[in-house]
Structures are given as C-alpha cells and as structure tokens.
Amino acid sequence: MRTTSTFNEEVAWAAAQLRQEQTAVNEALVQKIFQCESAEEALRISEAKLHALLSHQLSHREDERRRIALEIHDTLGQNLLALRLDVVALYQHTSARQRRLHGRVGTALHNLDDTISSVRQLIADLRPFQLELGLQAALAWEINKFQRDHDVVCEVVGLQGLDDVAIDEAQLLTLYRILQECLGNITRHAHATVVGIAIDVVKKILKIKITDNGIGIDPAKPPAPAFGLMGMRERLRDAGGAFSLAPAAPRGTTVTIAIPLFAQK
C-alpha cells in the first residue's frame, strides 16, 4: 500500500518529467522558429541578389545593344554606303554601251540597297532612333508600326497629353521596351484584331493600360514561365513602377503599367 509520501513523490516525479518534456518541446519549437527565420532571411537575400542580377543583365543588354548598333553604323553601315557610291558610279558609266553589264550592276545595286535597308532596320531594333524624338513620338511610332505590320486596329487615348511630360532616358527606354514587349505578346499569343491603349498621367504617375480582344488568359490555370513578363516586371521594379496582368471583359487581356515620373516640365 502506497503511503502519502510515496504518492507525493510520484506526482512530483511525473510533474518534473512533464516539465522536462515541455522544456524539450519548447526548445525544439524555438530552434524550429530560428531555422525558419534563417531560411526566410536567406530566401530574402537570395531574392534580392536575383533581382540585382536580372537588373544588371537588363542594363548590360541595353548597353551592349547600344554598343553593337554604334559599331554596325560606324563600320558596316559606312562601308556599305561607300560601296554603294562605287556601284552607282559603275551603273551610270555602263548605261550607254555595256547593256548586259549594266543590267548586272543594276541587280547588284538593288541587292545592295536591300542590304543597307536591312542593316538600318537592325540598327533601329538594337537602338531605336525614335527614342531621340521623345516619349510621345517614340510611343506613337511603335504603335503605328505595330498597326502597319500586323493589320491590327489600335484605339489610342491620351497620347497627345504626353506633350507636357518630361522623362529621363532610362524611364523612356523602360516604357518603350515594355510597350514593345506587350505589343509583341499580342502578336505572338493573343491573335487579337483590336487593341486599346489608354495613357494617363495623374500626380506624376504615368499609367498605360493595354487591352486586346484576343483569346485571353485563364485565371484558374497557372501561367507558364514567361521571361518577357519577368523582364517587364524587373524593368518596372528598377524604375519604382508596377505591372499587372488580368483578363479583360468580355474576352482578351489587360496589361496595366504604372511608373513614377521624376521630372515634369
């Protein structure tokens, strides 16, 4: 038969065991919390490094495009123009008596002109000359080119209001490349016939909303990896802006871009 003293000792022992178990559980929980916090911090650092790397790659790519465009213009472009002068002189010299040679030189001149046109287009793609014309002219040029090349109707609102907007080169390049990517995505994926582009500036925030009547996106379906969209988000992130993609009603897709303007006229 257990005595009261023995019973009390057993209760005290059980309580001590429970306290030890609780202490062990608490220590394990604290350790787990520290591990989770360390993992989250490592993830934040890794994400920041990834954003910095992507930003550097985008910047480096634009610098490389600018360098290559200048190199092509100063070497290949100038050499082709000099060659054209010689071919034109030969073409004119053979026009009177050497008809067969004249015809062949004419064909060579035509091919040379096509090559020069291709080189100019390559330079424009690498470093668009329209960027030198300002925000309004650059966006208008790209929109008009999109309509001509793809037989798509663009309904544009607010473009004229950009007359009073002052923007630095980095912001201009960001907006131009994003508009270019959005229109390119519409061509590649949306199969749209009409595109609406609404531009507005409110409280030094420039907003562009691009809506198409294409096949749209499925909100319930996880999107496939799209490096173009990633690039747009990174460009806007560096510029302090925002980017959103959503289904449009009754069908199609709406892309909304917002970027702060650091300078106004």
What pLDDT sits at residue 265?
44
Residues in Cβ contact with 206 at an 8 Å cutoff, skipping those fewer than 6 apart: 165, 167, 175, 199, 200, 258, 259, 260, 261
17-31, 43-57, 117-131, 194-208: segment of lowest average pLDDT: 43-57
What pLDDT sits at residue 65?
82
What pLDDT sits at residue 262?
66
Q: Which CATH class is domain 131-260?
A: alpha beta
pLDDT at 225 over 70: no
Domain residue spans in the chain?
A: 1-127, 131-260
pLDDT at 59 over 60: yes
The 10 Å Cβ neighbour count of residue 110 is: 11
